[in-house]
Amino acid sequence: MIQAILRPEKLKDVEERLKGEGFPSLTEISVRGRGKQRGIVIGEMRYDKLPKELLVVTCKDGDLQRIVDIILEEGRTGNIGDGKIFVLNVEDAITIREGRRGEAAL
């Protein structure tokens, strides 16, 4: 499973590229948070938590690196706050409708 925290303005680019390369399945969640920079200061205003998008893609092991590369290519601006990618192991996946398990559920 890939969890990517992205800038909101980069989400559409990442989603379109993933879909175009054959990876249409994903979940997105609007979130707020901060990284090492602890938010930003603009003038006298401090923004402690910034809006981000959490993109979740569960995939086969063989597709993982390609998906990570797409997220890196499309999600990067080169500026502080571009986000992070986390890769997690998934023990099992089960489709609710059909009860398929494992890779067949992906």
pTM of the model: 0.88
Tokens of 75: 């999600």
pLDDT, one tens digit per residue, over 14-57 is 999 999 999 999 999 999 988 777 667 777 777 788 899 999 99
Where along the chain do its domains lie?
A: 2-105
Tokens of 38: 């602890």
What is the model's pLDDT at position 39?
A: 66
Least reliable range by pLDDT among 2-6, 46-50, 60-64? 46-50
**Nearest Cα residue to 15 out of 68, 89, 71, 62:** 71
Q: How far is CA 79 from CA 36, 50, 64, 99, in A?
A: 13, 14, 25, 43
83, pLDDT greater than 70: yes
What is the model's pLDDT at position 19?
A: 98
* CATH number listed for the domain at residues 2-105: 3.30.70.120
Q: Which residues contact 14 (CB under 8 A, 6 or more apart)?
A: 4, 6, 55, 70, 71, 74, 75
